[in-house]
Amino acid sequence: MRWVTRAHVHVDRVACPWLLQRFVDSDAEFLLVARNLVDRVAAEEDATPFDVAGAELGHQGDRCSFDAIIAKYELKDPALLRLADIVRAADTGKMENEPIAAGLEAIATGFSLRYPDDEENLAVQFEVYDALYAWCRIQVAKTK
């Protein structure tokens, strides 16, 4: 499938492609375009928009796009739900809700400075999310 969102990836626009590729669509192709082109590219390329205003897979109230994907695809993995708490707090600026969120925001900003090319940025940051997901799996296992 093709997926489309705004260019200049940051927290949610890195977390969502990671989530989609790892848990929903292993053959996902991501199109990263200017905000004003998302709707047109979605129609022309038969791509599903995410993390844009009005998209089904966008922010809903205090929930971010990562949450919308988890809900739509009925992902129940407790480690993903733990990761969603971190992503949500970092993406919505509510760092007080999750102590790790400030670190994720800092990492996202640093990667954006180091890798201004969105595709390269996604490739290197997927490693961050793989590691954070592994940590979440350990944290969830400790609570059982």
- Using one digit for the tens of pLDDT, what is the confidence trace for 75-112? 999 999 999 999 999 999 999 999 999 999 999 999 99
Query: pTM score, two decimals?
Result: 0.95
Give the pLDDT confidence score for residue 114 in this predicted structure: 97
- Cα dihedral 67, 92, 59, 132, rounded to 10, equals -30
Tokens linked to 65: 């796009």
The alpha carbon of residue 76 and the mean position of all alpha carbons in its chain are separated, in whole angstroms, by 16
Give the pLDDT confidence score for residue 144 in this predicted structure: 72
Tokens linked to 85: 């708490």
Give 49's strand partners: 4
Give the pLDDT confidence score for residue 109 in this predicted structure: 96
Which parts of the chain register pLDDT below 50?
Answer: none
Residue 31 DSSP label: E
Q: Based on the structure, what is the number of domains in the chain?
A: 1
Domain of 42? 2-142
Give the pLDDT confidence score for residue 72 in this predicted structure: 98
